[in-house]
Chains A and B, each alone.
Chain A
């Protein structure tokens, strides 16, 4: 059974700092991995998706990496802003099944 763990559970940083969020998964036979953002009272918004054959994906100030063999992914946020404050969730899709297995998320607070 796939299990996804995110560390840390919460992170508070000053504005402008670069930061890294971590995600690990127990079964390396994944199809892809996605990072989502969740704002309070809202649904999830997809940020980046990495296919199992890829090593990283970039979108603006966000960079996600994937090391499938070690079961790890990181989300790097450059020059953080208060608007980046949210919960960040990592989700793994295993095989042809469309089920996503989520971590519990990292609550990020960027202080002005």
Chain B
């Protein structure tokens, strides 16, 4: 398996633009997580899904952020409109229903100028 695949690896966008981050979890994993990492706040959970259904979105900072999981092999995190304070590394992770193993993607480094 190629692991959790995120795209793009790097994204630079102007303030006010829409940004879409993509994630392909490991096949067979029931859970998918979106995390954001900044120097100030560390790694924070934004939202997670179980069998494509959002379970906990309490970490989504505001209405500008939205996440979807239309099927078991694809998820998106969208920011509209983007702001400079959204600059961070966004990680996607997945895990199976049983066991303890989380697998993280390599992240998307977002810079909003």
Listed in ascending order, the chain A residues whose CB lies under 8 Å from chain B are 32, 34, 41-46, 49, 89, 91, 97-105
Contact = CB atoms under 8 A, between A and B. Distances in A.
A43 B105 contact: yes
Given A44-B91, A49-B100, A97 B56 contact: yes
A41 B106 contact: yes
Contact of A89 (B43, B44, B45, B95): B43
B79 interface: no
Given A32-B100, A103-B42, 12 more contacts: A44-B91, A45-B104, A46-B101, A89-B43, A91-B43, A97-B56, A98-B33, A98-B50, A99-B56, A102-B42, A102-B43, A105-B42
B4 interface: yes
B-side interface mostly: strand
A46 B42 contact: no
A102 B50 CA distance: 20
Interface of B: 4, 31, 33, 42-45, 48, 50, 55-56, 91, 93, 95, 100-102, 104-107
